Structure 1
Amino acid sequence: MTAFRTAFAALAFIAGSALSLPAAAQMVRGQNPQSVLAAMKAGGYSGATLSTDKGGDPMINAETNDTKFAVFFYNCKDNKDCATVQFYTAYKAEKPIALERINEWNNSRRFGRASLDKDNDPVIRMDVDLDDGGMPQALFIDNLEFWESVVVGFEKHIAS
């Protein structure tokens, strides 16, 4: 009986320790949009809001450096249990942006895929895979910070 109590106490300690993990160690998962929102807020996006897109999938609206962007959830099953997210922002071009300029961005950078939308306005997007267990909150925040640098770089690129 003593061995049983010792094993039970050890299991209870492990379970209790797992429940008290610091926020930085929590996982961000596409299946849990609230975990994505919480990570964004922990990363300084206090104004981020969770809603749904036209198709009913989760979506987060946020802003970085005065640029509004969306976080779209993809590979969802019945508008939940999503596997991936995409950071996305679009611009209204003051002057036409040549397709060659967009291609130059795509050919010279690994992150941040650019294109022209149906109105020939530039858009930039970056995918993040959160399937198979997600990623630690600190790594997700690092991806957000990288997204910020992509947005700044793209804005400079299309302005020149």
Structure 2
Amino acid sequence: MPAVALRSWLLAGLMSLAATTGHAATVDATDPAALLNLVKGFGSGTLDKDDGGDPMIKGRINGVGYVIFFFGCTDNKACQSISFYAGWDMNTVTPEQIADWNLNKRFAKAYLDKSGQPAISMDVNLQGGVTTANFEDNLDWWQTLMTGFKADVLDKAPK
């Protein structure tokens, strides 16, 4: 059985088991392909590798590109956590705008990168697994935060 078919068969079996036993299906950072499938429910996504060989998901939600980096990996697999990241190519956002945005946000942090360009990131601990619903909620938060950052900071930056 091809790996993709086997993975789908196993996922279907786990979901069926969860439904019959009352246990929700879980995902973690050891299976980037499973996370990618959930990411695609919010937009587009592709699985790639970072410069060190660890998994990386490149996604797009509402036309905004972002990356999910994997951390705590052993031999470029068996990762423990992830971090969502989005950056914009503009130099007009001020440190004051970043500070103001950070004061009112709980799940993501905004900053100016080494080049002075705005970025946001959000860490998610997946060690031990989280329910699929929990991960989808994190994706929904990420979508909300990216949209809010654009509206509250980027669109209000001096031109």
Question: Is structure 2 residue 51 aligned with structure 1 residue 58?
Answer: no
Q: Which runs of 5+ in 1 are unaligned?
A: 1-16
Q: 2:93 & 2:18 partners in 1: Cα distance?
A: 46
CA contact (8 A) 1:28 1:39 kept: no
Which of 42, 45, 54 in structure 2 is aligned with 1:44? 42
In structure 1, what is the equivalent of residue 146 of structure 2?
A: 151
- Aligned equivalents of 1:27 and 1:51: distance in 2? 22
Name 1:71's counterpart in structure 2: 68
Distance in structure 1 (CA, Å) of the matches to 2:24 and 2:48: 25
2:131 aligned with 1:131, yes or no?
no
* Alignment: residue pair count: 140
Does the aligned pair in 1 maintain the 2:46–2:59 contact within 8 Å? yes
Q: Which residue type is aligned with residue 138 of structure 2?
A: N
Instruction: Choose which of 114, 118, 121 in structure 2 pairs with 1:122.
Output: 118
SS of 1:48's equivalent in the other structure is strand
Cα distance, 1:19 vs structure 2: 6.9
TM-score by length of 2: 0.80
1:57–1:18 Cα change, 3 Å: closer
Q: Which runs of 4+ in 1 moved over 4 A?
A: none
Aligned to 1:108: 104
5+ long unaligned stretches in structure 2: 1-12
Deviates more, 1:20-29 or 1:105-114: 20-29
**How far 1:44 moved relative to its partner?**
3.5
| C-alpha deviation, 1:118, in angstroms | 1.2
CA-based RMSD of the aligned residues comes to 2.0
In percent, how many aligned pairs have the same letter?
Answer: 38
1:53 & 1:122 partners in 2: Cα distance? 21
Match of 1:98 among 81, 94, 97: 94
How far the C-alpha of 1:22 sits from its partner, in A, is: 6.5
The answer (yes or no) to whether the contact 1:85–1:129 under 8 Å persists in 2 is yes
Q: Is the 8 A contact 2:42 2:139 kept in 1?
A: no
Structure 2 CA distance for partners of 1:32 and 1:90, relative to 1, 3 Å: same
User: How does the TM-score come out when normalised to structure 1?
Assistant: 0.80
